[in-house]
């Protein structure tokens, strides 16, 4: 995932580079970065670009789980 650079308009329409998918050992794997508020991670961040307001969570899952 560190080297992932296959962002495409269909999977990254807002060019945020917060979602990706690739094949690994015959399985389709998806990853997504989610942006939560720092007050417990229950709600979305009011400003994802602001480090002090945002808790970032990397989700990794099989495509069938997405």
pLDDT in tens, 8-56: 887 787 888 888 888 899 999 999 999 999 887 778 888 888 888 999 9
- Both tokens of 5, joined, read 């650079």
Measure the CA–CA gap between 39 and 55, rounded to whole angstroms: 9
Q: Is the pTM here over 0.85, yes or no?
A: no
Rg, C-alpha atoms of the chain: 13
Residue 59 has what pLDDT? 92
């Amino acid at each position: 995932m560190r080297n992932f650079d296959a962002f495409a308009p269909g999977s990254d329409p807002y060019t945020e580079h917060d979602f990706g998918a690739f094949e690994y050992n015959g399985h389709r794997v998806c990853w997504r970065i989610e942006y939560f508020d720092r007050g417990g991670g229950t709600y979305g961040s009011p400003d994802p670009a602001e480090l002090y307001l945002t808790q970032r969570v990397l989700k990794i899952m099989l495509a069938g789980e997405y």
